[in-house]
């Protein structure tokens, strides 16, 4: 891998993780790790161009159908692909189909960029996510195999202790906080060969006193009402939080035009 490289363009492909939820900006939009990464890369390369095709809630089949061909046609230096995790969180998940679709996505993107970046997504500690870990780890094994076959970079966020800490996850327990997204951006930045800005991004968060029983139960009730029950409702009715939403940044344009 080249040390301190210069890239001229970045296209991000994926779902809510790449869209940037829950790194909320004052205007109500989301920033997220991909925007942070693009800003850093743009500072190194005048005229740097950036597109973010991600839409929250997308399954890997939708990413293949709606984003892969578009991203490939842009011919960017770097393409990031994160998808499949939403599939593993569904009550019924055909991992063989997920593998085939991920293979299709990687084969569709790898020939059209200088570097394809894949990720082992972070996993929050907690009993709810624990039931899905076997599927998640099966997904990561598929990603590792595809990366080895196609020469892609794999960023191991799942193995980072800091990103498993519940304090780096939003109240919906599905999306990272602003600090979590910053750490992901740093991880990708380093994986692309740039000099670290935060060498300890993966280090555990300093200990704080745990919340009391009443505070934990209150948070559980709030989570169930505001996030879990609506999520279950969408699953039962076949809806998605991203239905009808456009891509975050659908064109590969100079970064300063989008910032």
Give pLDDT tens digits along the chain (259 positions).
556 688 999 999 999 999 999 898 999 899 999 999 999 999 999 999 999 999 999 999 999 999 999 999 999 999 999 999 999 988 889 999 999 999 999 999 999 999 999 999 998 887 667 788 899 999 999 999 999 999 999 999 999 989 999 899 987 878 999 999 999 999 999 999 999 999 999 988 877 666 666 665 665 556 556 655 555 555 555 656 656 788 999 999 999 755 4
Task: State the pLDDT at residue 216.
Answer: 56
| Exposed/middle/buried for residue 49 (C-beta within 10 Å: 0-12, 13-18, 19+) | buried
Alpha-helical regions (H) of the chain = 16-19, 33-44, 60-63, 69-74, 85-88, 95-109, 127-130, 133-150, 178-191, 213-223, 229-237
Q: Go through the domains of the chain in sequence order and give each one's CATH number.
A: 9-254 (3.40.50.1110)
User: HSE (CB half, 13 Å, CA atoms) of 126?
Assistant: 17
By DSSP bridging, strand 49-52 and strand 249-254 are: antiparallel
The phi and psi torsions of 61 (rounded to 5 degrees) equal -65, -40
End-to-end distance of the chain based on CA atoms, in angstroms?
Answer: 29
User: Given this model, what pLDDT does residue 35 score?
Assistant: 97
From CA 216, how far away is CA 97, in angstroms rounded?
38
Q: How many CB atoms lie within 10 A of CB 24?
A: 16
Residue 239, pLDDT score = 59
Q: How many Cβ atoms sit within 10 Å of the Cβ of residue 134?
A: 11
Report pLDDT for 28: 86
Q: Which residues pair with 224 in a beta bridge?
A: none
Place of tokens 């939080």: 241
Helices 95-109 and 133-150, packing angle to 10 deg? 30
Most distant pair of Cα atoms in the chain: their distance: 54
Contact 105, 37 (CB under 8 A): no
Burial label, 3 (beta-carbon count in 10 A; 0-12, 13-18, 19+): exposed
DSSP 8-state secondary structure symbol assigned to residue 169: B
State residue 241's pLDDT score: 64
Q: Please give the structure tokens belonging to residue 97.
A: 């189909």
Residue that the structure tokens 């590792």 belong to: 144
Q: What is the pLDDT of residue 259?
A: 46
Tell me the pTM: 0.87
Position 217 scores a pLDDT of 62
């Amino acid at each position: 891998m080249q040390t301190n490289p210069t890239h001229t363009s970045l296209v991000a492909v994926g779902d809510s993780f790449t869209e940037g939820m829950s790194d909320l900006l004052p205007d109500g939009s989301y920033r997220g790790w991909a925007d942070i990464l693009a800003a850093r890369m743009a500072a190194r390369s005048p005229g740097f161009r950036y597109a973010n095709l991600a839409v929250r809630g997308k399954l890997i089949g939708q990413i293949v159908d709606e984003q892969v061909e578009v991203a490939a046609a842009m011919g960017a230096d770097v393409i990031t692909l994160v998808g499949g995790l939403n599939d593993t969180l569904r009550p019924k998940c055909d991992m063989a189909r997920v593998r085939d679709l991920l293979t299709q996505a990687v084969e569709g993107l790898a020939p059209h960029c200088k570097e394809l970046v894949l990720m082992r997504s972070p996993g929050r500690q907690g009993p709810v996510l624990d039931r899905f870990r076997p599927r998640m780890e099966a997904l990561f094994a598929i990603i590792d195999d595809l990366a080895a076959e196609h020469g892609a970079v794999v960023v191991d966020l799942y193995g980072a202790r800091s990103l498993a800490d519940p304090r780096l996850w939003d109240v919906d327990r599905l999306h990272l906080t602003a600090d979590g997204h910053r750490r992901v951006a740093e991880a990708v930045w380093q994986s692309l060969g740039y000099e670290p800005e935060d060498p300890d991004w993966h280090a555990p968060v300093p200990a704080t006193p745990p919340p009391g029983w009443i505070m934990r139960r209150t948070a559980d009730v709030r989570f169930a009402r505001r996030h879990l029950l609506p999520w279950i409702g969408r699953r039962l009715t076949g809806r998605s939080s991203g239905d009808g939403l456009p891509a975050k940044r659908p064109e590969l344009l100079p970064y300063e035009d989008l910032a």
